[in-house]
């Protein structure tokens, strides 16, 4: 067993009511909050300074415990408008969160509930008072470990059991989680993005029809598609090419999601290939990007520490411009595996990993990051216009400028 500094100095007066136990035996102590009980998952870190509620409701974090590097998490509370979950991820999404400072009373006119109470209501375990810098360094050096996060108000833990549970969990490689967070039934979407003093709107005069495959889709993706004049039909992750084409879409969107793309790809890749072969415009994000890469002949691999944050610079080779992006992925498309027909369009300026591809002879492209998020704040929104322009071109309509 390895020793670990239990808590940040100054907060050690609080009793130990929560622990994070890693697969190698490391025990990290702190103050538990949110839900009680225990949960096993992969431990990652996120470097975003804002948007913790969007992160904690991102279905792509299913099977993970998020360590926030920004110390003050919970300071603006929570509300009903910033939830990104659409399908079943409320039940099986992120498994826990680790923070430095204790959760305080929120300071925001938008707040409806304290973070700790919100987490408890959603069954998510929290751990505060942790030296998150040291934990982040551990992940950077050794990779994302498996671990168990536990919260017990009486401070009594069976550490031997928790260690065994963490060591026995097989991890995310080979794990299909998309079916767990995906919608169970087909539905339509027409809500548009939020506007000051108006809230969310409705797309009442759509010009295009897009089928979105839900591998763990986020609400703001659907809103941005609606903003582009799209009527969106959302289908489950297990939809076949025949199911998708039966809706007679103008274009197909491949959503983000959790887990190993090769595992989900066992049933998703044949559907993606069928859509590509039909000649429809296709746009993929995150897990959708990775599975499109597989469908086009490439492979994916597990990353050492992954990319999780809202400050990741990416180069768009098609324009020569750099955008600040939001990322959340632990797998990546392997550049060297891509066939000649596939062009690499985007690259991470942090580590050079692949962040985007497109087919040279068909209206098909994808990116690894989350263009619906707002770290830039709108650096990547042009990709939705790029997608709809492919639809417009296929219909013989005039295209629009990608950037304002």
Q: Out of 29, 312, 372, 381, which one is annotated catalytic?
A: 372
The reply to whether 42 belongs to the active site is no
Phi, psi (deg, nearest 5) at residue 264: -65, -35
d(CA 248, CA 372) in angstroms, rounded, equals 25
Q: Give, rounded to a whole angstrom, the gap between the first and last alpha carbons of the chain.
A: 56
User: Is residue 17 a contact partner of residue 37, using CB atoms and an 8 Å limit?
Assistant: no
User: Is residue 94 a contact partner of residue 61, using CB atoms and an 8 Å limit?
Assistant: yes
Q: Out of 208, 289, 370, 381, which one is annotated catalytic?
A: 370
Q: In sequence order, what are the beta bridge partners of 21?
A: 27, 148
Phi, psi (deg, nearest 5) at residue 111: -70, 140
User: Is residue 179 a contact partner of residue 86, using CB atoms and an 8 Å limit?
Assistant: no
Phi, psi (deg, nearest 5) at residue 100: -85, -60
The reply to whether 355 belongs to the active site is no
Angle, alpha carbons 193-377-209 (nearest 5°): 35
Q: Out of 286, 329, 355, 381, which one is annotated catalytic?
A: 286
What are the structure tokens assigned to 346, written together?
């985007």
d(CA 234, CA 243) in angstroms, rounded, equals 11
User: Is residue 251 a contact partner of residue 283, using CB atoms and an 8 Å limit?
Assistant: yes
Task: Tell me which residues are annotated as active site.
Answer: 286, 370, 372
């Amino acid at each position: 067993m390895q020793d670990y500094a239990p808590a940040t100095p100054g907060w050690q007066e609080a009793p130990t009511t929560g622990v994070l136990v890693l697969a190698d035996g490391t025990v990290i102590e702190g103050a538990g909050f949110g839900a009680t009980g225990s949960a096993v998952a992969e431990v990652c870190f996120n470097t975003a300074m804002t948007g913790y509620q969007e992160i904690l409701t991102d279905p792509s974090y299913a099977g993970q415990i998020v360590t926030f590097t920004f110390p003050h998490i919970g300071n603006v509370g929570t509300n009903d408008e910033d939830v990104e979950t659409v399908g079943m991820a409320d039940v099986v999404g992120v498994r826990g969160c680790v923070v430095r400072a204790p959760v305080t009373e929120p300071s925001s006119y938008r707040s409806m509930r304290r973070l700790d109470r919100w987490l408890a209501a959603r069954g998510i375990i929290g751990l505060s008072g942790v030296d998150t810098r040291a934990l982040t360094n551990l992940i950077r050096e050794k990779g994302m470990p498996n671990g168990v996060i536990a919260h017990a108000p009486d401070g009594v833990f069976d550490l031997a059991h928790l260690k065994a549970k963490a060591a026995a969990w097989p991890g995310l490689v080979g794990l299909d989680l998309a079916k767990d967070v995906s919608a169970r039934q087909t539905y339509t979407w027409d809500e548009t993005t939020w506007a000051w003093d108006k809230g969310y709107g409705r797309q009442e005069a759509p010009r295009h029809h897009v089928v979105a495959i839900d591998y763990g889709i986020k609400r703001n993706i659907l809103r941005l598609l609606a903003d582009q004049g799209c009527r969106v039909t959302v289908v489950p992750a297990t939809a076949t090419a025949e199911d998708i084409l039966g809706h007679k879409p103008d274009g197909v969107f491949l959503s983000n999601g959790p887990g190993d793309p090769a595992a989900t790809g066992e049933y998703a890749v044949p559907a993606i290939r069928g859509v590509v072969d039909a000649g429809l415009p296709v746009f993929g994000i995150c897990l959708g990007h990775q599975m499109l890469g597989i469908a086009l002949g490439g492979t994916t691999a597990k990353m050492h520490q992954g990319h999780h944050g809202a400050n990741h610079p990416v180069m768009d080779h098609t324009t020569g411009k750099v955008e600040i992006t939001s990322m959340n992925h632990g797998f990546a498309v392997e550049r060297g595996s891509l066939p000649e027909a596939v062009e690499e369009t985007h690259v991470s300026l942090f580590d050079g990993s692949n962040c985007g591809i497109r087919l040279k002879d068909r209206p098909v492209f994808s990116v690894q990051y989350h263009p619906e998020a707002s770290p830039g704040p709108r650096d990547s929104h042009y990709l939705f216009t790029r997608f709809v322009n492919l639809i417009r071109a296929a219909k013989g309509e005039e295209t629009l400028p990608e950037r304002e």
